[in-house]
Amino acid sequence: MEMDLLRKVSEAPGISGFEYGIAEIIKRELEGCVDKIEEDAFGNLYAHKGKGSKTIMITAHTDEIGLIVKHIDEKGFIRFAKVGGVPDHVLLGQRVQVHGRNKRLSGTIGCKAIHVMKEDERKQLVTYDKMFVDTGATKDQLVKYGVRVGTPITVERGVTELENGLIVGRAMDDRAGCYMLMEALKKANPVNRIVAVFTVQEEVGLRGATVSSFLVRPDLGVAIDTTIAGDHPEIGESEAPVKLGAGPVLVVADGRRDSLGGGLIANPMVVGWLTDLAERLNIRCQFEVLEGGTTDATAIQLSREGVPSGCIAIPARYVHSFSEVVSKSDIESGVRLLSGIMENPVPI
């Protein structure tokens, strides 16, 4: 496994709408490995490989959750808005990077100290609107550095290898998927036309997939993403049965917790094909109905006249925490499965 590449894509800054850094890494990595690389006006990156009568669109989103400057007070403290599904409780005390036009600044997320909180405040969750970013800079300095309303802020986290083949890092959702898609493109000899799309703005409404699927007009779509691994304390197996190290996940359905509305009902033919393919390749897979989230596959399936679509997800602990834990073996199996998708006829 290419740990240097995974580390590079995990640590690249790129909240929704500001994915430029990760896009440049992908372009450089795939140069000479695919037939053509293109970028659309929205920021999606398209890597083309192979020819054939059928077009398979495979997506992995490049954006990460993060923050954006909302207000700068007279002392230089920055108030922020959240970009994507950022839980308030993971923010306090995080080290951050503020990406000014002229300078990148280090900072930390603070709030008033517990010593001066009233008794009832101590018992409450500190919400993000009570927090701020402290870079040490004055307001005039921030202006000089090009920090203003709309400047992106990323959490500063590196990749660390844990025991038993596990990895912890920022933005594994979905930089692990980007890594898998790049590695599969390098290895595979496609029998169909593969359009690998590294989509933008997934975390704020599947926007990149909506645009790109309309352009690609695929015969079949597959999204790569992460999903909730529940193999840790404080979560029941019936609520989240997926486990690290047990292989990639074939998502059967996802969407809102109360109804699965607004999500994906994976095409049964696609799920069956992926299941059979995994068995032939001797790849162990898991199956999931995910309540409470969705992926790019939801947008792909609704494009134009409709597209048979599915989703392959990599188990991750602590999703959207800025320290997401994944398994090397799951990622490696995912690369093999993606290569198999590219190298085998599709049942349509």
Residue 156 marked as a ligand binder:
no
Instruction: Determine the pLDDT at residue 248.
Output: 99
Q: Which residues contact 276 (CB under 8 A, 6 or more apart)?
A: none
Q: Which fold has domain 67-155?
A: Elongation Factor Tu (Ef-tu); domain 3 (2.40.30)
Instruction: Determine the pLDDT at residue 326.
Output: 99
Instruction: Name the residue ranges covered by the structural domains of the chain.
Output: 3-64+170-343, 67-155
* Catalytic position from the list 183, 202, 324, 343: 202
Q: Rounded to whole angstroms, how far apart are CA atoms 86 and 163? A: 27
Q: Where are the alpha helices (DSSP H) in 145-206?
A: 172-187
Q: Is 329 exposed, middle or buried (0-12, 13-18, 19+ CB in 10 A)?
A: middle
Q: What is the pLDDT of residues 34-65, one digit of tens each?
A: 999 999 999 999 999 999 999 999 999 999 99
Using DSSP bridges, classify how beta strands 324-327 and 309-316 pair: parallel, antiparallel or unpaired: unpaired
Residue 320 marked as a ligand binder:
yes
Expressed in percent and rounded to 5, the helix, strand and coil fractions of the chain are 30, 30, 45
Note the Cα 217 to chain centre separation in Å: 23
| 318 pLDDT above the threshold of 90 | yes
Residue 225 marked as a ligand binder:
yes
Q: Is 249 helix (H, G, I), strand (E, B) or coil?
A: strand
Instruction: Determine the pLDDT at residue 15.
Output: 98
Instruction: Determine the pLDDT at residue 347.
Output: 84
Total residue count of the chain as it appears in this document: 348
Instruction: Determine the pLDDT at residue 178.
Output: 99
| 3-64+170-343 CATH, one of 3.20.170.30, 3.40.630.10, 3.40.228.10, 3.30.9.10 | 3.40.630.10
Q: Which residues contact 290 (CB under 8 A, 6 or more apart)?
A: 227, 228, 251, 253, 254, 255, 263, 313
Query: How many other C-beta atoms are found inside a 10 Å radius of the C-beta of residue 255?
Result: 19
Q: Is 146 helix (H, G, I), strand (E, B) or coil?
A: coil
On average, the pLDDT of the chain sits at: 97
Residue 73 marked as a ligand binder:
no
Catalytic-residue membership of 202: yes
Q: Is residue 231 very low, low, confident or very high in pLDDT (cuts 50, 70, 90)? A: very high
Element (H, E) at 269: helix 268-280
Q: What is the pLDDT of residues 138-183, one digit of tens each?
A: 999 999 999 999 999 999 999 999 999 999 999 999 999 999 999 9
Q: Rounded to whole angstroms, how far apart are CA atoms 281 and 188? A: 14
Instruction: Determine the pLDDT at residue 282.
Output: 98
| 292 pLDDT above the threshold of 90 | yes
Token pair 């844990």 is found at: 162
Instruction: Determine the pLDDT at residue 113.
Output: 86
Q: What is the pLDDT of residues 237-249, one digit of tens each?
A: 999 999 999 999 9
